[in-house]
Amino acid sequence: MDTKAFKRSLQQSENYHRKGFGHQAEIATQLQSEYQSSLIQEIRNKNYTLQRGNVTIHLAQAFGFCWGVERAVAMAYETRKHFPTERIWITNEIIHNPSVNQRMLEMKVEFIPVEGGKKDFFVVNSGDVVILPAFGASVQEMQLLNEKSCKIVDTTCPWVSKVWNAVEKHKKIDYTSIIHGKYKHEETVATSSFAGKYLIVLNMQQAEYVVNYILNGGNREEFLAKFSKACSPGFDPDKDLERVGIANQTTMLKSETEQMGKIFERTMMTKYGPTELNQHFQSFNTICDATQERQDAMLDLVEQNLDLMIVIGGFNSSNTTQLQQIALERGIPSYHIDRETRILSGNRIEHRELNGDLKITENWLPDGEIVVGITSGASTPDIVVEDVIEKIVELKATAVVV
């Protein structure tokens, strides 16, 4: 399929909407009351620090809702207002945050059901409204919805669209897109649907495996087995790694994407020589500013003398996991939770480990004076952060009384 031509014709369709419906002012107050927090504003005004009883909170200087997420949530609210009676669907969680997604359900914005790991679009009828989330949707899904004559409201973040443009460019010049990301993540699924030949590389360990194959060859079957779910159909590692371009899932750790770009650039330079480099390697900085800012703020925060960290964000939120990784790498006791109810009674906390497992840790809140670092991922509303801070302060106050 000519994905670029399809996208262009879709954008000209009267059923396609990507700029909102002019109800911004009306929904602004509603969004503010549902997601903003006066406590968080107070902490911002006090140089990102709060002192309550024997608890000192240091908040990261960039955290929470990013521009792309705010825009997507606002567009979803606007969609409900603009189509008050139509059935409204969303192809996936609007963003990776349970409270926002719960709110969508309350507003009768329904999720496409998933049967046996596959989305069942049978439920969607002509004339229904379908929202595409901030991290986008695959071109096949867009095509299907277009054929069904649905009204499509596309909230895809422009940063994600920028990556799609990059892989389109690789395809045009017959380069393989090396996508730094998680092959199952919806954004990467969408990005790979616009790519021609692609290979999805999760981390530096995999990148090193690939560059070693480029330089020295290797076991082709092993290569194909390793990337069986992470490459384009018919991918041939002996032919399709001669010309590569870099792209990424926008929420991956920036330093790792850069490292990955460098290792591929060096490899192509070694194999083909500096004068031929441009014929074999295309770099592209596609990491979004929001991810970058939150990671930089986290790096500053972990330099402070913290007793523990709380990282708040959806359990399937990639950028939140990256923030948690930074804290753990510094050896700081850090707990990734998605809402304040994960803080259980009796000094217990239920949190997500880096490998995705849920764990309950006992005695996580130390006695006496404590300094707690707090941050949240790009899909977390301020109100959720406020709830967590209030719960910690309340627990500590109760402990003092006892």
Q: Is 160 in the site for ligand SF4 (CB under 6 A)?
A: yes
> Using CA atoms, how far apart are residues 105 and 99, in angstroms rounded to an integer?
10
Shortest CB 208 distance to ligand SF4, Å: 27
Q: Which of residues 6-45 bind ligand SF4 (CB under 6 A)?
A: none
Closest Cα partner for 338 from 354, 323, 326, 320? 320
Work out which of 55, 66, 312, 384 binds ligand SF4, going by CB under 6 A.
66
Q: Is 68 in the site for ligand SF4 (CB under 6 A)?
A: yes
Which token pair is 342? 């994960």
Q: How far, in Å, are 7, 33, 252, 320 from residue 298 at the CA level?
A: 37, 27, 14, 11
State which H helix or E strand residue 163 sits in. helix 158-172
Contact of 90 with 109, CB cutoff 8 Å: yes
Per-residue binding string, ligand SF4, 246-285, x by CB under 6 A, is ----xx----------------------------------
> Using CA atoms, how far apart are residues 328 and 67, in angstroms rounded to an integer?
27
Shortest CB 186 distance to ligand SF4, Å: 11
Residue number with the smallest Cβ distance to ligand SF4: 68
Tell whether the torsion through CA atoms of 68, 72, 77 and 82 is positive or negative. Answer: positive
Nearer Cβ to ligand SF4, position 65 or 198?
65
Closest Cα partner for 59 from 301, 318, 345, 289? 301
Residue 164, CA atoms < 13 Å, CB-side half-sphere: 20
Shortest CB 159 distance to ligand SF4, Å: 4
> Using CA atoms, how far apart are residues 163 and 181, in angstroms rounded to an integer?
12
Shortest CB 321 distance to ligand SF4, Å: 13
C-alpha of 332 from chain center: 23
| Catalytic option among 187, 256, 340, 386 | 187
Shortest CB 285 distance to ligand SF4, Å: 13
Nearer Cβ to ligand SF4, position 254 or 351?
254
Shortest CB 250 distance to ligand SF4, Å: 4
129-132: strand order across its sheet: 16-17, 151-154, 129-132, 88-90, 109-111
Applying CB under 6 A, the site for ligand SF4 has a residue count of 15
The number of residues in the chain equals 402
Q: Is 185 annotated to bind ligand?
A: yes
Q: Is 134 in the site for ligand SF4 (CB under 6 A)?
A: yes
Contact of 205 with 227, CB cutoff 8 Å: no
Which token pair is 402? 């006892």
Work out which of 6, 67, 111, 364 binds ligand SF4, going by CB under 6 A.
67
Nearer Cβ to ligand SF4, position 192 or 291?
291
**187 catalytic per annotation:** yes
Work out which of 10, 199, 288, 392 binds ligand SF4, going by CB under 6 A.
288
Q: Is 288 annotated to bind ligand?
A: yes
Q: Which of residues 316-375 bind ligand SF4 (CB under 6 A)?
A: 319
Binding residues: 66, 96, 157, 185, 250, 288, 317-319, 379
* Active-site residue set: 187
Task: Enumerate binding residues for ligand SF4 (CB under 6 A).
Answer: 66-69, 134, 157, 159-160, 250-251, 288, 290-291, 319, 378
